[in-house]
Structure 1
Amino acid sequence: MIRVIIMDDEPLALINMEKRLKEFDSIEIVKSFSTLNDLLTEGPTLDIQVAFLDVEMPGMNGLEIAQLLKQWHRNIHIIFVTAYRDYAVQAFEIQSLDYLLKPISKSRLETTINRIQELSQHEKKFPPSQKHNEPSLRIQCFGGFNVSFNGKIVHWRTVKTKELFAFLFSNLYSHVPRDIIIDALWAETDYKKARVQLHTTISYLRTTLSALGYVNVLHYANGCYTLQLEDFQCDVLDLEQLLKHKEENDELDVEKAEIFIQNHHGDYMATLDYPWTNGKGNFFNNQFTILLNFLVEHYTATHALKRRELILLLSLDYSPYSDKIIQQLLQHYIEVDNRANAIRIYNTFRDNLFTDLGILPNQDTIELFNTISEE
């Protein structure tokens, strides 16, 4: 049984969705919510796999609720149910499984249920803890977007073929409407021409993937494309697994974290002019910063002061205007009695902040530095 919750502030809409979902034997409705307060009270403790969410709701909209649910239940699948198309792009940015427009036909809902079942079977077959042989396909998202197979860079028929793969990969297992793809990759192109270019690029992409042994991984149904890819390695997924391990075990896999950092090449899809990456880029770059923070905490607790300094300096490279990081560095240099480095790093930070942003360090940073400079 697939355990789901439903949320809609309209009672009749909630009842209607309950009725429709009860027609499927594989679905168990755990709870239905009409208010945010009820969800906040019960949501974190529920054993659920899927959430059907209305988008337009008072207090907190469905997109915000989806992000909250993903914090509580990392692997939950989100399905938006709404009368509006306006939120489609944002919905897929947070990797929703599907986007259903009211009124929902039985056949359309059945397609969604089938997709949930497919994913459920996939997750049972390939649980996160299961070990596989080293995959031949490697996908690098940090520092650019590079794909290699058996150690050789994959060559794409056109630049749009590569971008399309990047876009679909960033929405892996999600049903992405054709028009969403066109808006993302061919926004400045006449719609009819854009559709032709999309179909041509899809054909090129299928050919490239098939040549690598990935046959029938790109599907089209009900106006949506879905990339279903297995047996690959990706730096973004490696980062997510590191953070998930820390969350579930309250312990960081330091060895893997250090290897990840050594192989980290820069910001998410850096150097690529893909406007659609902005939201995801901010999220994944922030995830990398969280990993660095965990390492700083570990090396502080284990008194590995040299490693802590190196990680803090790396953190400052990625967040050069962060008062929090510069304060941590100043505290570190106080602890190791290195006043000269503290003054040097602060002066560089202050000068960069003023030159680039026209501002000065915050008051806490200035006061901390003054305690050092006055000694």
Structure 2
Amino acid sequence: MKAILVDDEHLPLMHLQKVLERDVAGIQVIGAYSDPLLAIDMVKTLQPDVVFLDINMPGISGLEIGEQLQLFQPAPEIVFVTGYDKYAVDAFELCALDYIMKPVQLKRLQKTIERLRDRIKSEQEVSVEAKPLISIKCFNHIQFQLPDQEPKVIKWRTAKARELFAYLLHHRNRMIDKETLIELLWPDCDLSKGVTQLYTTVYLIRQTLKQHGLGIVSITKGNLETGYRLSVGLVHIDAEEWENHALQLSPPTIHNAQVYERILEMYTGDYFGEYEYLWAEHERERLRRLWLQLAKNLSSFYVEQDMMQSATKVNQLMQQLHPLVEDSYFTLMKLYALAGNHAAVEEQYELLVSRWEQELDFPVTSEISTWYEAWRRETIQAP
């Protein structure tokens, strides 16, 4: 097993290296660094199995380094080595393998190495199975999809736990300070009570993720309790993947029309749409506009190609997902008129009027009402 040691004090660094190399079998020290920033770069380059980290260092603490190392792929195991026991809780919140007090004792170190061997063996057994990654679905409502299983909505202990998870997922891999989180979820609480509520809710989220086998998604706490970060590693997130596919589309043609349809169908609802979180509205509207633009482009192409059934299908989907967007009603009215389906034209217009008046308290635009009245006059006068 390969190890890197990090401690700004030379003597403890050399002592730990000597004990590991002389008295512990199966450990190879491939680097010992007193410069923590250099150590971060070397961990990325050398990819050790374990990093022994001092906590109290100038400029950047071992806890902060530990947070950065957890984002590496693959991430090394972390053992904190320090002369102070007050950081133990913070260390284990970072999912550290172990926490050793200075001066390092051989028997205590051997227990750590045995735990390291067990951890690596367990991870190797899991990796042999080569399971696909977890997927998190954000369209409409939060769902998780484990390997070889159908997507499922998990039951959160509280609505606040679900919203905090969603907010941290929205800002994934970024540290969000606790004051921002408290102001978002408990705006009427004083800071002390808000901190308690936040700690409890983070605990509930961790327990829920663990209960459902979602250990690859983790929440870590910043140094000196500055805030929290949700790390997702290589998890698939449907909204992110959908946007990547959508932005790669060229204008619709006969050759890529089916690709358009598949990408439109991948969008199963607005971003966190079921929960209507105000903080997600900008992203929700941005993705909604992108989807609508793709749908309108494909609809126009189908109409130009005289593929009326395909155009109808696209606009029906548009209406199903976004019932307050009038374009789909107007296009369907025209398509049904061309097909001679008078009842369907009437139905579309009445549906649009009722929805706009009830939901928006706003009349239908003059362009649509003028077209409809002209169509009715022509229909009535027709023999």
> Normalising TM by the smaller chain, what interval?
0.5 to 0.7
Equivalent residue number for residue 143 of structure 1? 140
Matching residue of 1:283: 286
- 1:271 equivalenced with 2:252 (yes/no): no
Whether 2:190 is the aligned partner of 1:190: answer yes
Aligned residues: 256
1:354 alignment partner, one of 326, 333, 357? 357
Instruction: Give, as a single letter, the amino acid of the residue that structure 2 aligns with 1:220.
Output: G
Instruction: Say what the alpha-carbon RMSD is for the aligned residues.
Output: 4.0
8 Å contact from structure 1 (residues 334, 342) kept in 2: yes
CA contact (8 A) 2:137 2:144 kept: yes
Q: Which moved more, 1:155-164 or 1:180-189?
A: 155-164
**What's the % identity of the aligned pairs?**
20
Instruction: Please name the residue that 2:40 is paired with.
Output: none
2:222 match: secondary structure:
strand
SS of 1:218 mapped into structure 2: strand
Contact 1:296-1:308 at 8 Å conserved across structures? yes
* Cα pair distance change 1:206/1:352, threshold 3 Å: closer
1:231-270 matches, cutoff 5 A: 231-246=234-249, 249-250=250-251, 254-262=257-265, 264-270=267-273
Deviation, 1:326, is 2.7
Give me the TM-score of the superposition, normalised by structure 1: 0.56
* CA distance in 2: counterparts of 1:358 and 1:212, whole angstroms: 44
Residues 336-364 of structure 1, C-alpha deviations (whole Å, 9 max, x = no match): 44444223312332243334444332111
Residues of 1 paired with 2:196 and 2:267: CA distance? 37
Amino acid at match of 2:139: F
Matches within 5 A, 1:1-375: 135-150=132-147, 151=149, 153=152, 154-209=154-209, 211-214=213-216, 218-221=220-223, 223-246=226-249, 249-250=250-251, 254-262=257-265, 264-272=267-275, 274-375=277-378
Change over 3 Å in CA distance of 1:195–1:362 after alignment to 2: same
Distance verdict in 2 for CA 1:244–1:262, change over 3 Å: closer
SS of aligned partner of 2:275: coil
For 1:181, give the aligned amino acid.
L
Letter in 1 for 2:316: L
User: Structure 1 residues 135 and 304 mapped into 2: Cα distance closer, same or farther (>3 Å)?
Assistant: farther
Q: Deviations over 1:152-173 (max 9, x none)?
A: 6445455433322211111123
Distance, in Å, in 1 between the alignment partners of 2:218 and 2:328 is: 47
The 3 A distance-change label for structure 1 pair 142 and 134 is farther
In 2, the alpha carbon distance for the partners of 1:206 and 1:244 equals 34
Q: Structure 2 vs 1, CA of residues 229 and 215 (structure 1 numbering), >3 Å: closer, same or farther?
A: closer
Instruction: Indicate if the aligned counterparts of 2:177 and 2:227 stay in contact, CA closer than 8 A.
Output: yes
Deviations 1:198-252 (A, max 9, x none): 1233344345546534276635247243223132233312331232112xx4458
Given that 1:242 and 1:257 are in contact with CA atoms closer than 8 Å, whether structure 2 keeps it comes out as no
Amino acid paired to 1:162: R
Change (3 A) 1:259 1:232: farther
When residues 192 and 172 of structure 1 are mapped into structure 2, their CA distance, relative to the original with a 3 A threshold, is same
What's the offset of the Cα at 1:301? 4.3
The residue type paired with residue 311 of structure 1 is V
Contact 1:218 1:227 in 2 (8 A): yes
The alpha-carbon distance between structure 1 residues 298 and 221, as it changes in their structure 2 partners (threshold 3 A), is: farther
Which amino acid is the alignment partner of residue 143 of structure 2?
Answer: N
Task: Work out whether residues 326 and 365 of structure 1, in 8 Å CA contact, stay in contact via their aligned partners in 2.
Answer: no
Q: Distance in 1 between matches of 2:267 and 2:246?
A: 15
* Amino acid paired to 1:364: E
1:195 Cα offset (Å): 0.8
1:295–1:135 CA distance, 2 compared to 1 (3 A): farther
* Uncovered stretches (5+) of structure 1, i.e. residues with no partner: 1-106, 109-114, 123-132
SS of equivalent to 2:248: helix
Larger mean CA deviation between 298-307 and 152-161 belongs to 152-161
Contact 1:135 1:232 in 2 (8 A): no
Q: Report the Cα distance in structure 2 between the residues aligned to 1:236 and 1:187, rounded to whole angstroms.
A: 29
C-alpha contact (below 8 Å) 2:137/2:143 kept by paired residues: yes
Is the contact between residue 218 and residue 230 of structure 2 (CA under 8 Å) also seen in structure 1?
Answer: no
C-alpha deviation, 1:256, in angstroms: 4.9
Instruction: Name the aligned partner's letter for residue 201 of structure 1.
Output: T
CA distance in 2, matches of 1:294, 1:182: 43
Give the 3 Å change call, closer, same or farther, for CA 156–370 of structure 1 in structure 2: closer
Contact 1:327 1:368 in 2 (8 A): no
- State the TM-score, normalized to the length of structure 2: 0.55
Equivalent pair of 2:217/2:233 in contact (CA under 8 Å)? no
Secondary structure, counterpart of 1:314 in structure 2: helix
